């Protein structure tokens, strides 16, 4: 795949933290979600959230290091692959200044039609994955 990578600064908020003072594991998925939404907005010319309906079918996270309030966090998001009705995003959260990796993640999503049934991935997303056109 030659799709572009989107880099997004993440502001760690007090509410993201657990009682141990690091970002709660469930919050990483909300960071990934932000990356996907911004990816669509940045790289799809006619993006409209109403035109791309999908559900998350699988989520993977490999935690490497805890994120703390004072960390400078950056999220990298890219489209790894597109199947018939599914597409896969890869995410990486790292320390902005050092490049140290906090986690790697992968999200598999399934495109849905208006009735909630799997459908072919939209051509615009398919084209982005195929040639990185943006």
d(CA 73, CA 104): 13
Strands (E), the chain: 5-10, 54-63, 73-82, 86-95, 101-111
Q: Can you list the domains of the chain with their CATH numbers?
A: 5-131 (3.10.129.10)
Q: What is the structure's pLDDT at 133?
A: 43
Distances (CA, A) of 44 to 38, 124, 127: 10, 7, 10
Quick one: pLDDT at residue 125? 81
Residue 77, classed as helix, strand or coil, is: strand
pLDDT given for residue 1 in this prediction: 45
Model confidence, pTM: 0.90
Q: What is the pLDDT along the chain (134 residues), one digit of tens a residue?
A: 458 899 999 999 999 999 999 999 999 999 999 999 899 888 877 666 666 789 999 999 999 999 999 999 999 999 999 999 999 999 999 999 999 999 999 999 999 998 999 999 988 788 777 655 44
pLDDT at 48: 65
Q: In the prediction, which pLDDT does 47 show?
A: 62
Q: pLDDT at position 43, please?
A: 84
């Amino acid at each position: 795949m030659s799709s572009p990578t989107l880099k997004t600064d993440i502001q760690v908020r007090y509410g993201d933290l657990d009682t141990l003072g690091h970002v709660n594991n469930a919050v990483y998925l909300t960071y990934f979600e932000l990356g996907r939404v911004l990816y669509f907005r940045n790289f799809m010319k006619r993006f409209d959230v109403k035109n791309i309906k999908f559900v998350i079918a699988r989520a993977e996270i490999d935690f490497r290091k805890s994120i703390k309030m004072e960390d400078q966090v950056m999220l990298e998001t890219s489209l790894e692959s597109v199947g018939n009705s599914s597409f896969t995003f890869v995410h990486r959260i790292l320390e902005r200044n050092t490049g140290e990796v906090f986690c790697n993640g992968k999200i598999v999503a399934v495109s849905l039609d208006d009735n909630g049934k799997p459908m072919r991935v939209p051509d615009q997303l398919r084209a982005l994955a195929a040639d990185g056109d943006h």
